[in-house]
Structure 1
Amino acid sequence: MPGTPHAHEPNAPLPVEIPVTDSVVDESLDLKTQIVRFVVTGGLSAIVDFGLLLILLKVGLPFAVAKSISFIVGTTTAYLINRRWTFKAEPSRARFIAVVVLYALTFAVQVGISTWLNSVLADEWWRVLLAFVVAQGTATVINFVVQRAVIFRLR
């Protein structure tokens, strides 16, 4: 019947995707290639995250608020690129939900570590950078392991 959704048609649209590759190919990349691509993507996303953090701090937002916003923008960038380029995965509602749950976990880990380190480290020029690097490194390891082992194996 026209206008009636069929069982194979989604009720809600999939998340917005960016065209990082011409087409998604159903091929597995080896671990080394995935790690390299994950690190490159993470580096770009970290630049987005840290750059936005500095801007938001400069305009006077409290650290936790600025870090929360920059984390969301940075991890969204990472997901969109990793899904297409690093893991070559087709769009999937289950995968997207799993990534949101994972990012909620790594959000708590990253913002928690970063905020804690910013409160206990000396008020020096390197404090924000060191806190960012430690928190980002921890979140990156968690993200790669869970994404490779679980999320990008979902259909």
Structure 2
Amino acid sequence: MKNSIVEAVLKLLKAEFVKFVVVGGISAVLEFSLLILFVEKLSMDYLIGNVIAFALTNIVTYVLSKRYVFNAATSANKAQEAGLFFLCLLGGLLVNQIVLWIFVEFTSLDYRIAKVIAIAITVIWNFFTRKHLVFRNRPVAAQQATATDYSEETL
């Protein structure tokens, strides 16, 4: 009995984390691409470009996290949820900026490589803050898709 409960919990967490990683992967590629666009094509400072890329990307991430990762289609208090998400986002931006700045300024690492490291560290922050603060009382999204999951209503 105890093993089956532990297995069920691990299965749910694994499904949720995998969905989080997929959404995170999409977000990371978008954020990285926007940063390169801002720095190399628009001649922005890498830290300013990072803030803008981070902010734009996290709008997409919020929608995908709410809809597909944490199964949070409805919320009793959307303002509170959005506020918590924004606070966690600011913390993630701070982590991201500090890591990026340290690696670029103190190790002379290329900003693109430093950004990959910053994204990796920020992913850990984002998962735990979103899971335990923003979407804490939400059921885990369904693990297996069915044919009805792809109806026009869900897309």
With the shorter chain as reference, the TM-score category is 0.7 to 0.9
User: Over residues 90-147 of structure 1, what are the superposed CA-to-partner deviations in whole Å (9 max), with x where a residue is unaligned?
Assistant: 2421111000000011111101111221112336xxx223211211111110111111
Unaligned runs of 5+ in 2: 1-10, 139-155
Q: Are 1:114 and 1:132, in contact at CA under 8 Å, matched by a contact in 2?
A: yes
Name the structure 1 match of 2:148: none
> Given the alignment, which residue of 33, 43, 48 partners 2:25?
43
User: Over residues 42-86 of structure 1, what are the superposed CA-to-partner deviations in whole Å (9 max), with x where a residue is unaligned?
Assistant: 010011101000000012111111011001111221111001100
Q: Are 1:52 and 1:70, in contact at CA under 8 Å, matched by a contact in 2?
A: yes
Question: TM-score if structure 1 supplies the norm length?
Answer: 0.74
Q: Which amino acid aligns with 1:43?
A: G
Percent identical pairs in the alignment equals: 23
Question: TM-score if structure 2 supplies the norm length?
Answer: 0.74
Name the structure 2 match of 1:109: 95
Q: Which amino acid aligns with 1:99?
A: F
Name the structure 1 match of 2:125: 142
The answer to whether 1:83 aligns with 2:69 is: no
Name the structure 2 match of 1:30: 12
Name the structure 2 match of 1:14: none
Q: Are 2:23 and 2:64, in contact at CA under 8 Å, matched by a contact in 1?
A: yes
Q: Are 1:94 and 1:154, in contact at CA under 8 Å, matched by a contact in 2?
A: no
Name the structure 2 match of 1:62: 45
Q: Which amino acid aligns with 2:90?
A: A
Which structure is higher in helix share?
A: 2
Instruction: Find the residue that maps to 1:153 and give its secondary structure.
Output: coil
> Given the alignment, which residue of 109, 123, 130 partners 2:113?
130
Q: Are 1:98 and 1:151, in contact at CA under 8 Å, matched by a contact in 2?
A: yes
Unaligned runs of 5+ in 1: 1-28
Instruction: Find the residue that maps to 1:37 and give its secondary structure.
Output: helix
| Residues paired across the two proteins, number | 124
